[in-house]
Amino acid sequence: MPEKCGAAEKVKPAASPAAEKPSDIAGNISYHAQYNPHFSPLAFGPEEAFYATAESVRDHLIQRWNDTYLHFHKTDPKQTYYLSMEYLQGRALTNAVGNLGITGAYAEAVKKFGYELEAIAGQEKDAALGNGGLGRLASCFLDSMATLNLPAWGYGLRYRYGLFKQHIAKEGQEEYAEDWLDKFSPWEIPRHDVVFPVRFFGHVEILPDGSLKKRITFLLNLDYHSKLLVLTSMICAVLYPGDATEEGKLLRLKQQFFLCSASLQDMIARFKERKADRVSGNWSEFPTKVAVQLNDTHPTLAIPELMRLLMDEEGLGWDEAWDITYRTVSYTNHTVLPEALEKWSQVVMMKLLPRHMEIIEEIDKRFRELVISKHKEMEGKIDSMKVLDSSNPQKPVVRMANLCVVSSHTVNGVAELHSNILKQELFADYVSIWPTKFQNKTNGITPRRWLKFCNPELSEIVTKWLKTDQWTSNLDLLTGLRKFADDEKLHAEWAAAKLACKKRLAKHVLDVTGVTIDPTSLFDIQIKRIHEYKRQLLNILGAVYRYKKLKEMSAEEKQKVTPRTIMVGGKAFATYTNAKRIVKLVNDVGAVVNNDPEVNKYLKVVFIPNYNVSVAEVLIPGSELSQHISTAGMEASGTSNMKFSLNGCVIIGTLDGANVEIREEVGEDNFFLFGAKADQVAGLRKDRENGLFKPDPRFEEAKQLIRSGAFGSYDYEPLLDSLEGNSGFGRGDYFLVGYDFPSYIDAQDRVDAAYKDKKKWTKMSILNTAGSGKFSSDRTIAQYAKEIWDIKASPVA
Ligand SMILES: *Cc1c(COP(=O)(O)O)cnc(C)c1O
């Protein structure tokens, strides 16, 4: 390891910042090392090497970025703007050099300084500006928009602190600030020349001409600029943690408005910049040039803000502004969980955004008039459909999902099952008013990050057997693997690649937990946010039951058992007590099982701390079985199920979200199905309430072992109580863990048997990868482009 910049000094910078020859690249890295003001010239350790390397890669990106900007300026295509409060980006270096096609050259270049590219890439901190699936989806979408050459762009907030870092202590999960900008991000480009006013509070006044109401004044009239700076830094200080429950915080609402207002003003400026006659009008063209996609209801305020900008700033009348807004905006729903449907207090909103509240009231009024005048038959449903809910006059609220449905030209769900539930239940009443407004866009993942870069071993095999690497941008080509599903040579290569990934994963586990796991055991993984509906509790009760059976077995009987390593990872929302109890339970069970010499050859249970994108990139390639076991009807889509399947991992799962479509694609023989179906759930909950449900004795055994104190004296009663019919918490096993437990255990028995047959298992694994083509986010985004946004590819010549 060079102790000073010696090595960096000797290399001359290349003539072009976008050099592609290793010696020229090394020169550029050295240039950045020397002229980067962030580090002492004495230092060129791995961290400095990362920053200098990233900055040299950024030069390539900037060149393309500028070319693209000029290209769009000239060709003026219709463009999509994706609004998301979250982007779960992860690291960027490997992805950037990989997509630029210069990984090999960069690897060689950094070798000249004595470094491995992977080690340098490992220095980068994750940009964790999201909570889970929704934020990761936004990042996969941007990747696909770029890959498909679409005129499309994402807007988000650059939070100073990302999603918290998770430590596991004696008492369970602890949260620490994620200081990802501790030093700086080499990928950021501040644009001091692009500034828009975003205003809060104030009041509404009518101008002397009397024609329109205009919002005139605002809070920050005293030393506006310095306060504005402080205010923006506060607004973007933290990502709100929690993907299901929204914090009723004023700051959260400010964040949402800040994103919407700044983004829309930027879009309008861009729209005007591209054609001279737009500066003073020609607004009818706007929806033919701009599409705005709302990633869930978090950016709903884009609707009243666009109305306000068009009316108050641009002078349009209501009807014209409404027509433009409606034709511009579309909305993606991500959840049917009632507690996750965003509502904002009208009182709070009136105070923070009085003009917007006024516009929302008008939208609501006109919607109600529409129903009464044109859809009389729906009049009885108006209370649940309207935007403003004043059923509790003390606490009137704005229902953001209703505002989105009423104001968007298209609403979509994120998997077939979910979209059907939207049409048949959550938004059923709106379907009779707008029968063609509702669509499905099954989620997807980028195959670049989630196979090519995270699993080079398997990628190489796929390319070799398909005789092309085109699958990275045409994932349907993976079906070409099916005809080799029984080929012994492929089997040998496939199994060797999996083993290499398992060893890498085992090393990660040892590094972060100190637990040694056996790479020849079955690697069984569940990683996702900890949530009762995702049922990590079902998994851990299964593990407890497995442990108990092992304890009861003779040494001889144990010989026949399929050794298994169960890994669970995920963050629990800091105030979600039951989720934190689940984290604690997994850790407690692990501590007992892993240290029990009678069983630990056959079973280990490991909690993987601080689950994030980079951890996922190590875990998923090394996984053989993965658990997607939510109560049917509750997981809108899931996307980690797609990542696992793509990496040749077999799923044990319920018929929920995208599992349904994955099973269709990979074949039912290659998917371990169990559990209640979505349309049975309501009835089963009723049965539970009415005492008609007889729990399986195996379920009782597992709970009893935890109650006995076998895993320590922590108070698990509240957790176990929630599984009882008439718990004090009143949820009566709302997530049906007890009902699904026996079929889950049976499915796990089928897994054990299948794993013993190596040939059978490897074939299942191959057929999972082969059937994953549909789940490329390229397919998803192509559908949004054609069926919602009406935009076309516009490659830079
Ligand atoms: C893909 C991904 C998710 C989403 O996982 P689900 O199992 O679909 O909920 C969450 N977090 C990270 C870091 C991911 O990469």
> Is residue 533 domain-resident?
yes
Sign of torsion, CA 195 228 62 77? negative
Q: Assess whether 149 and 110 both reside in one domain.
A: no
528 C-beta closer than 6 A to ligand 1: yes
CA dist 209 → 310, 349, 427 (Å): 18, 27, 41
Domain match, 633 and 658 both: yes
Residue 786 annotated among the catalytic residues of the structure: no
Same domain, 202 and 128: no
What is the per-residue pLDDT for 727? 52
Contacts for 740 with CB less than 8 Å, ≥ 6 apart: 535, 538, 629, 631, 654, 674, 675, 676
Share of the chain above pLDDT 70, in %: 94
**Do 609 and 588 share a structural domain?**
yes
pLDDT tens digit sequence for 548-589: 999 999 999 999 999 999 999 999 998 899 999 999 999 999
**Is residue 245 annotated as a catalytic residue, yes or no?**
no
- Indicate the SS3 state at residue 786: helix
Domain of 358: which CATH number?
Answer: 3.40.50.2000
The residue whose CB lies within 8 Å of the most ligand 1 atoms, and thus the one to mutate among 337, 619, 640, is 640
d(CA 112, CA 222): 56
Residues 538 and 673 in one domain: yes
Catalytic, out of 534, 535, 584, 685: 534
Range of the domain at 565: 518-757
Task: Determine whether the shortest distance from the Cβ of 639 to ligand 1 is under 6 A.
Answer: yes
CA of 613 to the centre of ligand 1 (A): 8
Q: Is the C-beta atom of 123 inside 6 A of ligand 1?
A: no
Same domain as 341, residue 387: yes
- The dihedral built from the CA positions of residue 27, 33, 36 and 40, taken in this order, carries a sign that is negative
Average pLDDT over every residue of 621-632? 98
The finding on whether 132 has its CB within 6 A of some atom of ligand 1 is yes
pLDDT value at residue 209: 67
Beta bridge partners of 79: 290
What percent of the chain clears pLDDT 90, i.e. is strictly above it?
85
- Domain C-terminal end among 135, 169, 196: 135
Q: What local confidence, expressed as pLDDT, does residue 228 receive?
A: 54
Residue 216 has pLDDT above 70, yes or no: no
In a domain, 774, yes or no: no
Q: Given pLDDT bands bounded at 50, 70 and 90, which one contains residue 215? A: very low
Let me know if 639 is a catalytic residue. yes
Predicted pLDDT of residue 246: 57
Question: Which among 100, 135, 170 is the end of a domain?
Answer: 135
Residue 210: pLDDT band (50, 70, 90) is: low
- The helices-and-strands tally (H runs, E runs) of the chain is 33, 21
In a domain, 169, yes or no: yes
Q: How far is CA 316 from CA 106, 266, 406, 461, 618, in A?
A: 53, 19, 21, 59, 53
The tens digit of pLDDT for each residue in 477-522 reads: 999 999 999 999 999 999 999 999 999 999 999 999 999 999 999 9
Using DSSP's 3-state secondary structure scheme, residue 756 falls into helix
Decide if 498 is inside a domain. Answer: no
Q: CB of 569 closer than 6 A to ligand 1?
A: no
Instruction: Please tell me the predicted confidence (pLDDT) of residue 242.
Output: 61
Average pLDDT in the 605-630 region? 98
- End-to-end Cα, the chain, rounded Å: 43
Catalytic residue among 289, 528, 628, 663: 528
Residue 43 pLDDT exceeds 80:
no
Number of domains in the chain: 3
Q: Is residue 9 part of a domain?
A: no
Asked whether the predicted pLDDT for residue 243 surpasses 80, the reply is no
Q: For residue 220, what pLDDT is reported?
A: 35
Active-site annotation holds for 529: yes
Query: Is 431 found in the same domain as 374?
Result: yes
Tell me which of 437, 643, 698, 703 is the catalytic residue.
Answer: 643
Residues 140 and 85 in one domain: no
Q: How far is the CA of 430 from the centre of ligand 1 (A)?
A: 31
pLDDT digits (tens, 9 = 90+) for 651-706: 999 999 999 999 999 999 999 999 999 999 999 999 988 889 999 999 999 999 99
Q: What is the mean pLDDT of the chain?
A: 93
Is 107 within a domain? yes
Residue-level pLDDT at 275: 86
- In this predicted structure, the answer to whether residue 218 has a pLDDT above a threshold of 50 is no
CA 669 to ligand 1 centroid distance, Å: 25
DSSP 79: E
Catalytic annotation present for 452: no
pLDDT band at 428 (very low <50, low <70, confident <90, very high): very high
Same domain for 87 and 146:
no
Residue 457 φ then ψ, to 5°: -60, -50
Containing H/E element for 692? none
> What's the pLDDT at 221?
35
152 and 45 together in one domain: no
Q: Residue 323: what are its φ and ψ, rounded to 5°?
A: -60, -45
pLDDT in tens, 628-657: 999 999 999 999 999 999 999 999 999 999
- pLDDT at position 38: 74
Long-range contacts of 550-556 (CB under 8 A, 24+ apart): 550/598, 550/599, 550/602, 550/603, 551/596, 551/598, 551/599
User: What pLDDT is stored for residue 297 in this prediction?
Assistant: 97
| Residue 678 amino acid letter | A
pLDDT at residue 77, rounded to an integer? 97
* Mean pLDDT of all residues in 229-234: 68
Q: Report the side by side order of strands in the sheet with 650-653.
A: 603-608, 564-569, 522-527, 625-628, 650-653, 671-673
pLDDT at 250: 86
Top mutation candidate among 136, 414, 641 for ligand 1, by most atoms within 8 Å of CB? 136
Residues 102 and 241 grouped into a single domain: no
In a domain, 164, yes or no: yes
643 catalytic, yes or no?
yes
Ligand 1: nearest atom to the Cα of 628: 7
Alpha helical stretches, state H, 274-353? 286-289, 302-308, 318-328, 346-352
Looking at the structure, do residues 104 and 175 belong to the same domain, yes or no?
A: no
Listed in sequence order, the DSSP H helices in 76-187 are 93-100, 103-111, 117-121, 133-147
Residue 3 in any domain: the answer is no
Res. 224 pLDDT band, cuts 50 70 90:
very low
Q: Which residue has the higher pLDDT, 7 or 721?
A: 721
Three-state secondary-structure class, residue 662: helix
Is 745:700 a contact under the CB 8 Å cutoff?
Answer: no
pLDDT band at 247 (very low <50, low <70, confident <90, very high): low
